[in-house]
Structure 1
Amino acid sequence: MNSGNKGERKMEMKRQDFSFELPQELIAQDPLKDRSSSRLLVLDKETGEVSHHVFRDIIDYLNPGDCLVINDTKVIPARLIGSKVGTDAKIEILLLKRKSDQVWETLVKPGKKAKPGAKISFGEGLLVGEVIDIVEEGNRLVKFSYEGIFEEILDQLGQMPLPPYITHQLEDKNRYQTVYAKNSGSAAAPTAGLHFTPELLEQIKEKGVDVASVTLHVGLGTFRPVKAENILDHHMHSEFYRIEEEEAAKINRAKEKGGRIICVGTTSCRTVESAADENGRVKAGSGWTDIFIYPGYWFKILDCLITNFHLPESTLLMLVSALAGREHILAAYEEAVKEKYRFFSFGDAMFIQ
């Protein structure tokens, strides 16, 4: 892929160029019983050729010496439904970012009932939140008071914050977690990882593929539509990431020895690309990233990507277009629609190689 000139920010890239027709019935509402039996569309990023498989066939596309990068973030049951103290009005809170032990940046509905000073009770007072400030985009800073351990109370009272296009109730909370989720903090799952089973991961390791874990806590901004006509005017939300020394070493070692870096999901991709130095090595550490990857971007670390099928005009569709070219991606999506692949979070997968 050609590198875009960093100084070319004046150029135009239209949002509508990343549009496609998606029949409503192809939006997956429920996860499959067996994670690895999703379908898998394999796309050659150079030729645009596509072939159709089952997800567990992914092992045939991974070679000894490659490094698979997974995002081990864990979704917290961040959706809380409570009532306003004094009026009993129903209020819904979505936890977005932890600011300190007791203070969270949140999305509150309806916002007009949540002015600073308002108190909201959850679980008949098991958890009480007080709105202390209004920050950007109308988000509220809420200070929580409770007895015991916050995570345990959240587990008891909270619901999984499913994306807006999923209307069914989730029967099993764990189906919106990857099997390797361990670091709590996401408001949405890194969904490309939902296709892996512990058995499949074991087989991949036995084949001689290294597996490196990184952490990026996915924010709800991941579903935020691009509103700017020219996508270069779009501002990304920021998300917290961390890469440990040992995991960075696995990625760098594979790269040095000529192995491919295969990211599971756009979140793993954005993490390693955010942590890359000029020499194409990953630096361990943590921080906030608002990296926006669109056509013209030069990938420093990633070679291949395992990903789901994304929303029209979304930053995620722009990212995969940066990797495989917009024409190849839109043609592959057209094929996926024709073949009735399942789309979005609980949908099928694509491997871009």
Structure 2
Amino acid sequence: MVFSAALMGLATLGIALLPDYAQIGLWATWGLLLLRMAQGLALGGEINTSAMFLVEHHPHRVLLAGALVAAGGAFGMFIGSALATLLQYISLPEVWRIIFALVGFVSLWVCHLRKQLQESPEFRKNQLPMAGIWRRYWRGFVNIAAIAFFVSITVYICNVFWVSFAIDRQLWSEKACAWTGSLAQLASALLAIPIAYFAKPKQVYHLMRASMLLAIITAPALFYFTLQAKTVGVLIAITGYALTNALICASLYYLLYLQLPAQYRCRGVSTIWAIAAGLGAVGLPIAEQATIMKIFWLPGLLVAMTVTLCFILLSNYQYQFGYSTNDKMTEGL
């Protein structure tokens, strides 16, 4: 996490200070690309290791500990998209640099804070060699990949891409579409906390599978109603997406925690998540190309089909590592 926070802070500060195209030409484009890649690499390690750290330190509130991180991520998406929308009202062209600089300094401050914290007791007592990890824990890796792919493609298509799709289809005004996507993220963050608080840890697989079933229904409905300009249908579907994301936030990090033993958990989850989430992000250009070709039904169907596959994988390979009554590592459900 120290490395991830430092990399995120330095990359974000780099973007804030990067000269524009008028000053350095193509070097600005390549510089921005490399810095964004660094941010993506840092994000996979930063948020996952933070969540694993909290879950390991709070064995009696595992769902809530993980949900706080995931809800924080959803709330961060709300803040980011809300700021982007608000910037449309501000005429200062360089104000975004100030925001990036502030975020960069916050990331470096987080790096400083993490260096002062100790590893969890569970991690310290399970320092074992890495030999045979892929062969021994392949079911856990399959689950991590399925979950990451599901979360990535659902958020990218049903939130990020949907906003631009709704604007292009002139569903509402540009600002109204942007605010709708932002408020959906806020609603999911607010719903996730009570769900995680009242749910039991043994229900974590049920929560994730319920979110997948909702996504399978919600994604095609969201794009269908947007295409038909049916406001009531869109609002119902976007509410379904918010509930889907809330269930994801409530269950995500405890479920990832269960897939690997402590000595492999942070590195294993971060690595597999980065790969699978990157593959899920490929759905974004596919959806964009589909709309260019006027295949408007494809984005929603793409989500439904891929999430169905993830649902099948998660149902077939339930796997668990965690605390038992005598505080030893156990596996199986």
**Normalised-by-shorter TM-score class:** under 0.3
The two structures have a TM-score, normalised by structure 1, of 0.20
Query: Which is helix-richer, 1 or 2?
Result: 2
Query: Which is strand-richer, 1 or 2?
Result: 1
